[in-house]
Structure 1
């Protein structure tokens, strides 16, 4: 049996690798379209001379080597939480350690961690993860706009008189891309994978063609040319770092997509195809610049032999559509994790593949991304204007990922300081200068990702704080379950036949709908099941471990049931009903009644927990969240909602 599985995996590996090319490497794979263009022809351009060309190429080579290959491919992708990647996966790995660190029986390593960092810093780790996630969201808004726009601008090179159609064509392409999302990443990856393979082969071929004409460009592999570049350009050279960083902006999307593909397929796709092709193309463009030809327009297109220019513009447009897909897929994954971890309200999640749990489509997020991307294209109208905004979000997220990875490696995996600290310093040695160079561009457009990140962080922290306060209100207003059971024994209460399921966050307290049903209609179901749905620290929970039953009082017919789901799964009542067959209390979906609470939020008469504008935001989010019956897939004909007023 094991041999058969191994053979199947071997057969599927090439197909999985090609599919991963179509989803994971689209963003970073299209960076040659605009990186050197912005370095030598952008608003902060430097002169085209051997020192600058070799210096910029050296920076690109070592950035791809250290940040993408060493940091992400070799190290960060190891920090998967049961196969899932992304900033919230790092947070999930740290969550158990943070909880254990507050216990009195801490081990010496955990005590030393608290002495080193302090409790406040531990509390700040979730917010650091939130900031990283919010910056990746910002990157997901900008990437589709700049990628597709930069490719379509090739039309202006072929036919300058047709430049007026660049913006409308970009908008049409982006609109069609977002409309395709409902088909899922399996179908999209199957279509995009071969195209992306052709794209990388074309990058390598064009690069090699130009390198053979000027092989001296390969000297740029030596880091001494990067040092000479800074010595010659001083402050201007540092500013241009904010443009060089465009070559690595797909690193975070690569990590976020870890749940869609195996680590092996992502590693092999990078080392065997993507990385060699990118380096060859960058060095090919550099060879063109060293060859003495004047820079007439984008060096990427100038490096293409004239007979191949039109096919290359078409292929580049298709590749940039795929680049957009990499970020869209990563944003979907992060959103579902944020919902299940309690940072965002419930929203519709569509699983697009019956075989792959991680392949999802979120209509609300898809619509918001589409509106944002189209707005950016219509406002900025060219890739040069967007380039100033691009990179800040990516470098900020990368720096935070480095810090979170250090925490995981040191305190969860117990790596030695002699390994963890040098790695952190190596990563930050590259990332902090990139971040500083991008901060200089805040006025030129860098404010855009910062504003988007601030808005997203505000939304997530408002929702988290509001839900935590409502939970406290429920606990203050609810009687202990033991007191309810005592009153049920002592006071004669009408019992209606059937099973009543009351969803609750705390099984030691009486759910508000249960207490209200006694007060209002003076009756309770014959069988009472208090159902809690918990989000586990793992992305997925096996079906056989899904449901746990605890009998509170069999004579009174009161049971407590817990259904556990991973943070990448959507809780489903039909699934819970099926899994409950393994316990002594089966919950028949269409023969049970579900009692749910309907919350009405009122302004607190005491000192308010939130400012009025923030309370209004929370109420807006709460009113627009999917209701529990829809989110948990409960038959509407079996639902009874009981209202509750809660102060905020």
Structure 2
């Protein structure tokens, strides 16, 4: 058994190398180049090269190894991670005002992720294809078209699932990290003096020597840790131990060796600043490395795309985005999903970004704001969890929070200068997503409150119907209700207009729990309200998708036998109209109506046969 566990951990560690570290693993393609050849005009001299190398090394150690690997990954919800998970955990044991603040911080963090995910595939693939400039400068004009073709293929295959491609992820990325280390070592051997930059004194000296400009240069240094949120977000797929082992044994050493190898190359050949990553490789390895870099950046992009699918599903289940079609691409892995509308909106945005920015250096100016903004929010939320959930003392939490913010806030502030040169893009995308999520949540709540304000008692109505029943017809009627003690609109309208009732009536409520999964034992709760009325509450985690056949199966095990072809599903189809409200709330109302019209209908959400559904319309003013 112990041997099996070791094999399982080894397999998961290998898989984590392939999926989790794709983004941060491709950072050497552009990070040091942007640090030294960016807008701030640092010369290729020992002071600047050693300073940047020291900053990159200590950021990898402090931010990734200590903050995320050792600390933040302790905060899990049934093994799941991610900024919305952190929001959920942080809001559990706080009072109402603090919960509202936590909610806003979590939604802003989620919005930042949506903003970042548009830039990551464009930045990664462009930086890899730009290796063509080294191999054949005349092919420069084909970089953008080839990048678009590569990304088009990537987005097209999403509907087929990532299972087959996923099997190739780990070997390719493992080979990638091995070659990063080998070429890095080769560069260091030729100029071992570069290892002095491991001393944090060179990072401090960098700030003392370059003063104000060194602060703004942090905006380029942060490129070395983009993708750090993936460590936490993908925790549920692989577990903490494999992710930690992969980082400490493979990823961190390979990254450090490659960065220092590039630094050694630049100290000997300053002209290599044009593309130190590819020029670090021997001439014979240039084309193979170009192909491998393209594969690695596609893998990095795939990991981010999968991440946005997961985050979208989580937001839908928690009620922050409208229902949309979610397709499972694997019979075994619940995490492998495909969301068509998100896939093609993301593809359109990525192509527009590539066409607009044209070069990875231009995109570097847009990259970093969303990443560092999420880092600040992760610090605040994780420290809230440490205090409220883990019951750490203030003397432990406050110094830790201050220490982490002393790193995160300067990184975020340094990136703010990028706003005019491209940073507006992720911020704008994040703002749009924040407005959409808050609008859907608040306006949906407003609409539901309006629909249920009739105040009729469910118990009194059932009692009256049992004493003075209308015409009863054979079969089972299921009425979907969002709140279990409220009379469904569809039931009221059916009685009012059709004046009939089925011989058995089931009031079905689907509830999303504050957990990724709900055990089958707790899936369905059944209560008999009267001889012919039943209440069924089906509970699902936010990583699960409700299925009516499954619910009927669970009901059958509990003694309530329902057959799909003998059941009619009554649903209310609300026609929403805007009432009088201020202009800004009217705009929000119009956005909500747009989202409502395009939301997935309940029969499609729960896989109910269309010929079993009866929709009764009602008009509601909001």
Give the alignment's TM-score, normalised by structure 1: 0.94
Which residue in the other structure is 1:596 paired with? 571
Counterpart-to-counterpart distance in 1, 2:301 and 2:575 = 40
User: Retained in 1: the 8 A contact 2:325–2:600?
Assistant: yes
Give the root-mean-square deviation of aligned CA atoms.
Answer: 1.5
1:14-65 Cα shifts (integer Å, max 9, x gaps): 2222222221111000000110110111223311111111111111011111
Which residue in the other structure is 1:15 paired with? 11
1:239-270 Cα shifts (integer Å, max 9, x gaps): 11000000001111221112222222211111
Which residue in the other structure is 1:472 paired with? 449
**1:342 equivalent in alignment to 2:281:** no
The secondary structure found in structure 1 opposite 2:561 is: coil
Which residue in the other structure is 2:555 paired with? 580
- C-alpha deviation, 1:291, in angstroms: 2.5
Which residue in the other structure is 2:595 paired with? 621
1:319-377 Cα shifts (integer Å, max 9, x gaps): 11111112111111111110000000001112222222222221111111111111100
Counterpart pick for 1:169 among 126, 146, 156: 146
Counterpart pick for 2:605 among 587, 608, 631: 631
C-alpha change, 1:177 and 1:594, in structure 2 (3 Å) is: same
The secondary structure found in structure 2 opposite 1:596 is: strand
User: Retained in 2: the 8 A contact 1:257–1:329?
Assistant: no
- C-alpha deviation, 1:310, in angstroms: 1.5
User: Retained in 2: the 8 A contact 1:406–1:424?
Assistant: yes
1:418-461 Cα shifts (integer Å, max 9, x gaps): 32223222221211111010001111111111100000001001
Which residue in the other structure is 2:407 paired with? 430
Counterpart-to-counterpart distance in 2, 1:359 and 1:71 = 28
What 5-or-longer segments of structure 2 have no aligned partner?
A: none
Which residue in the other structure is 1:70 paired with? 66
**1:561 equivalent in alignment to 2:557:** no
Which residue in the other structure is 1:643 paired with? 617
Higher mean displacement: 6-15 or 403-412: 6-15
C-alpha change, 1:296 and 1:584, in structure 2 (3 Å) is: closer
User: Retained in 2: the 8 A contact 1:139–1:327?
Assistant: no
1:159-189 Cα shifts (integer Å, max 9, x gaps): 1111111000000000011112223333222
Which residue in the other structure is 2:503 paired with? 526
**1:511 equivalent in alignment to 2:507:** no
**1:246 equivalent in alignment to 2:223:** yes
1:548-606 Cα shifts (integer Å, max 9, x gaps): 0111112xx111110000011111111111111222322322221111110101122x5
The secondary structure found in structure 1 opposite 2:238 is: coil
**1:125 equivalent in alignment to 2:125:** no
Give the alignment's TM-score, normalised by structure 2: 0.97
Counterpart-to-counterpart distance in 1, 2:265 and 2:403 = 32
Q: Aligned ranges for residues 315-330 of structure 1 at < 5 Å? A: 315-330=292-307
C-alpha change, 1:8 and 1:640, in structure 2 (3 Å) is: farther
Counterpart pick for 2:276 among 276, 295, 299: 299
Counterpart pick for 1:24 among 8, 16, 20: 20
Counterpart-to-counterpart distance in 1, 2:320 and 2:275 = 42
C-alpha change, 1:45 and 1:195, in structure 2 (3 Å) is: farther
- C-alpha deviation, 1:71, in angstroms: 1.1
Counterpart pick for 1:360 among 337, 340, 346: 337
The secondary structure found in structure 1 opposite 2:620 is: strand
Counterpart-to-counterpart distance in 1, 2:324 and 2:404 = 36
Which residue in the other structure is 2:211 paired with? 234
1:82-110 Cα shifts (integer Å, max 9, x gaps): 12110111122234324xx4xxxxxxxxx
The secondary structure found in structure 2 opposite 1:498 is: strand
Which residue in the other structure is 1:112 paired with? none
User: Retained in 2: the 8 A contact 1:563–1:576?
Assistant: yes
Higher mean displacement: 427-436 or 43-52: 43-52
Q: Aligned ranges for residues 130-141 of structure 1 at < 5 Å? A: 130-141=107-118
Counterpart-to-counterpart distance in 2, 1:540 and 1:296 = 50
1:458-512 Cα shifts (integer Å, max 9, x gaps): 1001100111011101220352202312331443411111111111112212110
User: Retained in 2: the 8 A contact 1:77–1:255?
Assistant: yes
User: Retained in 1: the 8 A contact 2:87–2:105?
Assistant: no
User: Retained in 1: the 8 A contact 2:265–2:272?
Assistant: no
Which residue in the other structure is 1:33 paired with? 29
Counterpart-to-counterpart distance in 1, 2:379 and 2:396 = 14
1:163-216 Cα shifts (integer Å, max 9, x gaps): 111000000000011112223333222112111111000100010001111112
Counterpart-to-counterpart distance in 1, 2:263 and 2:575 = 63
User: Retained in 1: the 8 A contact 2:33–2:273?
Assistant: no
**1:418 equivalent in alignment to 2:392:** no
Counterpart-to-counterpart distance in 2, 1:592 and 1:24 = 45
Higher mean displacement: 316-325 or 513-522: 316-325
- C-alpha deviation, 1:644, in angstroms: 1.2
The secondary structure found in structure 1 opposite 2:321 is: coil
Which residue in the other structure is 1:184 paired with? 161
C-alpha change, 1:301 and 1:25, in structure 2 (3 Å) is: same
The secondary structure found in structure 2 opposite 1:533 is: strand
**1:407 equivalent in alignment to 2:384:** yes
- C-alpha deviation, 1:293, in angstroms: 4.1
Counterpart-to-counterpart distance in 2, 1:523 and 1:194 = 64
Which residue in the other structure is 1:108 paired with? none
Higher mean displacement: 492-501 or 435-444: 492-501
Higher mean displacement: 40-49 or 459-468: 40-49
What 5-or-longer segments of structure 1 have no aligned partner?
A: 102-118
1:599-625 Cα shifts (integer Å, max 9, x gaps): 101122x54797222211111111111
User: Retained in 1: the 8 A contact 2:380–2:401?
Assistant: yes
Q: Aligned ranges for residues 444-459 of structure 1 at < 5 Å? A: 444-459=421-436
